Amino acid sequence: MRYLLLDRIDEFKKSEYAVGVKCISLSDDAFEHHFPGQPVYPGALLIESMAQLGGALLELSLRDGRPRAPRCVLTGVKAKFRDFAKPGDALRLRADVVTCHEEAAQVRVATTCGERRIAEAEVTYVFLDVDDPKLEASRRELLELLTRGAIVR
């Protein structure tokens, strides 16, 4: 099963930041039990959306000079939730690289809806070298799809 919790990446600057969008729909399966009559998007899924944007930022940044882009694997999250994300919200996510080393990186991600601050997190990743051409092609295709139409700085 593949969880894609990021709709698109609108803006990207290598090794610095990425801006993406996640639209929340009442038809999302998460709302069946979370919570009937008072739908709230689960915090764990918000964190996953933020982690996916941060991982995409790093993987796109680390492609140059390597035979394959390393895969980013989530190893730590420190998050704070400020408001609820609800059906109909178009969330704007911004990921900024805090540190990036040979084997690991940390990214700060903030999620907003209009003027409302929804969540923020510091996300830590380690890099895995996955030697699987099929997986590499699939990941490259996904990142190209997410960044189609993005402003690249």
Q: Which residues are catalytic?
A: 34
Contacts of 11 (CB under 8 A, 6+ apart): 17, 18, 19, 150, 151, 152, 153
Tell me how far apart the alpha carbons of residues 17 and 87 are, in angstroms, rounded to a whole number. Answer: 27
**What radius of gyration, in Å, describes the C-alpha atoms of the chain?**
15
Name all contacts of 120-123 with Cβ < 8 Å and 24+ positions apart: 120/79, 120/80, 120/82, 121/47, 121/50, 121/51, 121/77, 121/78, 121/79, 121/80, 122/77, 122/78, 122/79, 122/98, 123/50, 123/51, 123/54, 123/74, 123/76, 123/77
